[in-house]
Amino acid sequence: MFEFCVVTGTTAQEVIARRRDDVVQVVRDAYLAHEAGRSHNPPSYFLRPPGRPGDRVIALPACLSGASELMGMKWIASFPGNVPRGIPRASATLVLNDPETGYPYALLEASQISAARTAASAALAAEVLAGGRAAGRLLVVGAGIIARNVLEFLAARAWTVGAVTVHDTHPDYASALAGRARELLGCPADVAPDLAAALPGADVVLLATTAASPHLVEPDTFRAGQLVLNLSLRDLGPEVVVGAYNVLDDVDHCLTAGTSPHLAEQAYGHRDFVTATLGQVLDGSRTVPHDKPVIFSPFGLGILDLAVGDLVHRDACERESAVEIAGFFAETTR
């Protein structure tokens, strides 16, 4: 009852690499549970160091009901200044709590979990919104860890991609990811120095940047039928958002914190541009036409971290790769 263990990032990475299809499935189940009201996902709490508005540490508490009851919190730091230092922007931990006693029973390194649940949600959304697992050309904007994870999940889901184009403000990062795309998807991949020139030819556009404010602002940035996976949330101006069909993971969560949908709500004074949640598309209660661009904007729900963290924790325990911490609790009786 009072056992406590640690799951390292190396272990989490290994589990995820073996079980990407399972990760997508638990993410899908979590979205459906959320849509059915079997979750509690309070607003995220943002801690910002004074005088450094670009840096933040975010608390995502959540509860999820499904095959088992889950409770916990992800604590994730996002420091964009890490990128020029050559280290990842994000670092994270995930605590899992016993829903009966409240006692924590596991601490997981969660940057791998966070990246995986983000990539899995993108792959899942791409499948249901594109109506299959194929794209003539995939344009990746932002060549970081999240983008790499999305490519890994698309490969695991047996996507057929005709070609990949990568754009990044750092050409070396773009070249490296293009090489990885060729390995994973078995298709040609190139680098686009000019983003505006690359946009029209893409069927699917993946936005995975560290942008803090919109840089794609023209109403005709995307064409009808293009699917935009807006993972970085702040690349698009309000005019682009209102001219598209918008699918969110959760409306109230996504319309906060200066995201592109939030800026659109502030600019136009309504939420009429929201077409559906991904849960509604998954359960069949909403459909999304294709006579305009389709934008998927996932704010990132704590329930997804719980679902993926639980999968990783159970796998690690079964394979005896979780590290038990004897005596973690000093007192276990009253």
Cβ contact 313:324 at 8 Å: no
Fold match flag (5-113+302-324 vs 123-297): no
CATH numeric code, 5-113+302-324: 3.30.1780.10
CATH T-level topology, domain 123-297: Rossmann fold (3.40.50)
- The Cα 267–Cα 163 span in angstroms is 36
Cβ contact 185:204 at 8 Å: no
Cβ contact 240:222 at 8 Å: yes
Higher pLDDT, 66 or 163: 163
Of all residues in the chain, the percent with pLDDT exceeding 90 is 89
C-alpha distances in angstroms, 313 versus 110, 111, 112, 195?
A: 11, 14, 13, 40
Burial string for 309-333 (b: 16+ CB within 10 Å, else e) reads bbbbbebbeeeebbeeeeebeeeee
pLDDT score of 21 more than 80? yes
Q: What are phi and psi of 205, to 5 degrees?
A: -115, 125
Q: What are phi and psi of 223, to 5 degrees?
A: -100, 165
C-alpha distances in angstroms, 39 versus 75, 143, 302, 307?
A: 19, 33, 10, 11
pLDDT score of 333 more than 90? no
Sign of CA dihedral 150, 155, 157, 163: positive
When pLDDT is cut at 50, 70 and 90, the band that residue 330 belongs to is: confident
Provide the token pair at 17: 């690499």
Max CA pair span of the chain: 68
Cβ contact 204:229 at 8 Å: yes
For residues 151-169, average pLDDT:
98
pLDDT score of 67 more than 80? no
For residues 89-117, average pLDDT:
95
The one-letter amino acid at 203: D
Of all residues in the chain, the percent with pLDDT exceeding 70 is 100
When pLDDT is cut at 50, 70 and 90, the band that residue 251 belongs to is: very high
Burial of 84: CB neighbours in 10 Å, binned 0-12, 13-18, 19+ = exposed
Q: Note the pLDDT of residue 68.
A: 80
pLDDT in tens, 282-318: 999 999 999 999 999 999 999 999 999 999 999 999 9
pLDDT in tens, 68-89: 899 999 999 989 888 889 888 8
The torsion angle over the Cα atoms of residues 130, 133, 136 and 140, rounded to 10 degrees, is: 80
pLDDT score of 110 more than 90? yes
Q: Taking the domains of the chain in order of start, what are their residue ranges?
A: 5-113+302-324, 123-297
Q: Note the pLDDT of residue 89.
A: 83
Q: Note the pLDDT of residue 133.
A: 98
Which residues contact residue 155 at a Cβ distance below 8 angstroms, ignoring those fewer than 6 apart? 184, 185
Cβ contact 195:171 at 8 Å: no
Site of tokens 């601490």: 107
Provide the token pair at 81: 């200044």
For residues 246-257, average pLDDT:
96
Site of tokens 């949640």: 277
Q: Note the pLDDT of residue 1.
A: 63
Mean residue pLDDT of the chain comes to 96
